[in-house]
Homo-oligomer: A and B are copies of this chain.
Amino acid sequence: MIDQLIAKIKKTEAPIVVGLDPMMKFVPEHIRQMAFAEYGETLEGAAEAIWQYNKEIVDHIYDIVPAVKPQIAMYEQFGILGLLAFKKTVDYCKQKGLIVIGDIKRGDIGSTSEAYAVGHLGKVQVGSKAFYGFDEDFATVNPYLGSDGVKPFLKVCQEEKKGIFVLVKTSNPSSGELQDRLIADAGNRPLYEVVGEQVNEWAKECMGDSYSYVGAVVGATYPEMGKILREIMPKSYILVPGYGAQGGKGKDLVHFFNEDGLGAIVNSSRGIIAAYQQEKYASYGSEGFGEAARAAVEDMREDIRQAIESR
């Protein structure tokens, strides 16, 4: 799957993943009203609204980006009905030829981590038969529990030709509270470097053609750390959140890419899916939110291209 992801990045010339995080405040009024008219102000109505919203976004961007990243929390908050909308979104994106990165940040131990891996990337056994659960192409994984939590994902990835992105240095302001702490038994280097080294070990065992299917999450908001982590994990794709709304800019991104122009895929969520709410794209109106999203993708692609060219 990492080879397919890279092929699609080359084809679209867009190392971009669109975050499908459909907060209700992003969903245009007319979509909400249509859904509530049919299902009332219910969980079903909310699920319908986010599904229709996603569908129109996807219809406008599927041919110019390689991948989407639905954030499962935004669906899970609506309970079962929200998760049905998540599954519908995953399936629809795959139908449209997009690679789906499930932003699930799961992490547990042993058989429990295996259950998450199976449910999101693999097949679960039921008697003599086996079924796919959510069936994303990649998943994000939390490393706090150690390799017991990660290895079951690697096993499923090997079987299914899928991949993971391990959280290394997250984009949020407080990520340093644990991730930046200096590790005495690792030469006083920060914890994120230690995690990066672990990721690199796993990555070397899980190679695609030129990159590993074990990647890492490193926030655009920490470009200097990204530079170091890029060197520590040369074979890992870096999934980079934090561009746009969280403050990361094109020029901050260059260190996340390797010399081959590959090695990173940058996420933008609200900057694309809620572009119509920005002054810059206001002329599209809320009815034109899909076209605004497409325009925002094109601008983002140009911003990254220029940044890489001028490095």
Binding site for B on A (CB under 8 A): 21, 23-24, 32, 36, 41-43, 45-46, 71, 73-74, 76-80, 82-84, 87, 105-113, 115-116, 118-120, 124-129, 131-134, 142-149, 167, 170-179, 181-186, 188, 191, 194-195, 198
Contact = CB atoms under 8 A, between A and B. Distances in A.
Contact of A174 (B73, B132, B148): B148
Given A79-B124, A181-B186, 8 more contacts: A73-B112, A74-B112, A78-B133, A107-B142, A146-B174, A146-B177, A146-B178, A183-B184
Given A146-B179, A175-B146, A184 B191 contact: no
A193 to B, nearest CB: 11
A28 B248 CA distance: 53
A174 B194 contact: no
B126 A45 contact: yes
A47 to B, nearest CB: 9
A16 to B, nearest CB: 20
Contact of A144 (B71, B142, B148, B184): B142
Contacts of A43: 124, 126, 131, 133
Nearest to A181: B183
Given A105-B108, A115-B74, A181-B191, A148 B175 contact: yes
Nearest to A124: B77
B73 A115 contact: yes
A107 B172 CA distance: 12
A133 B79 contact: yes
Contact of A185 (B74, B80, B116, B182): B182
A32 B77 contact: no
B178 A143 contact: yes
A175 B83 CA distance: 30
Contact of A191 (B71, B77, B106, B178): B178
B124 A144 contact: no
A21 B114 CA distance: 13
Contact of A41 (B128, B147, B176): B128
6 contacts: A41-B127, A43-B124, A76-B115, A79-B132, A144-B179, A146-B172
Nearest to A127: B41
Given A80-B84, A184-B188, A177 B42 contact: no
Contacts of A125: 24
A126 B46 contact: yes
Given A145-B170, A148-B172, A119 B177 contact: no
A186 B83 CA distance: 41
